[in-house]
């Protein structure tokens, strides 16, 4: 297998294309999953009247990532909607993770460190949000 040596300009263009495709793919996949989940939800619950007399939180199976994935794999509407939202949130995190690796591969220390700090803050804020 032959590996082509890329010049700096073409490498930057390649990285921009991958980042653009990553964002497009993430948003399209998330939107498709939410659309399917929303359609299933409306088919099942669209004719019911909402009960405003008391607050009901999310079911326990939708409070964890494993529960959301299990519900989505079972084609439950709420699980699919939640999975789509998680994928939408994961898309920019994946972008920053890819850029961290790309800058490290290019040996651009300043941008690699900055991207890593942003990635660490994103992960910390997401994990911190799950803890509360």
pLDDT averaged per 10 residues, the chain (length 132)? 50 86 94 95 87 80 86 92 93 93 90 94 80 49
**C-alpha distance from residue 63 to each of 42, 67, 69, 120, 128 (Å):** 22, 7, 11, 23, 14
d(CA 88, CA 64): 16
Residue 13: predicted pLDDT: 85
Residue 127: predicted pLDDT: 81
Residue 55: predicted pLDDT: 81
d(CA 83, CA 62): 10
Measured torsion, CA atoms of residues 41, 47, 53, 55, in degrees rounded to the nearest 10:
0
Residue 8: predicted pLDDT: 54
Tokens at 131, concatenated: 């803890």
């Amino acid at each position: 297998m032959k590996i082509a040596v890329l010049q700096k300009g073409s490498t930057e263009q390649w990285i921009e294309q991958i980042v653009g495709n990553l964002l497009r793919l993430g948003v399209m996949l998330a939107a498709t999953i939410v659309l399917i989940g929303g359609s299933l939800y409306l088919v099942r619950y669209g004719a019911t009247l909402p009960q405003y007399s008391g607050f009901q939180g999310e079911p326990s199976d939708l409070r964890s990532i494993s529960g959301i994935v299990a519900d989505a794999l079972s084609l439950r509407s709420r699980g699919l909607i939640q999975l789509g939202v998680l994928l939408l949130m994961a898309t920019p995190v994946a972008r920053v993770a890819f850029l961290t690796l790309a800058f490290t591969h290019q040996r651009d220390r300043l941008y690699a460190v900055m991207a890593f700090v942003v990635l660490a803050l994103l992960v910390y804020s997401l994990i911190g949000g799950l803890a509360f």
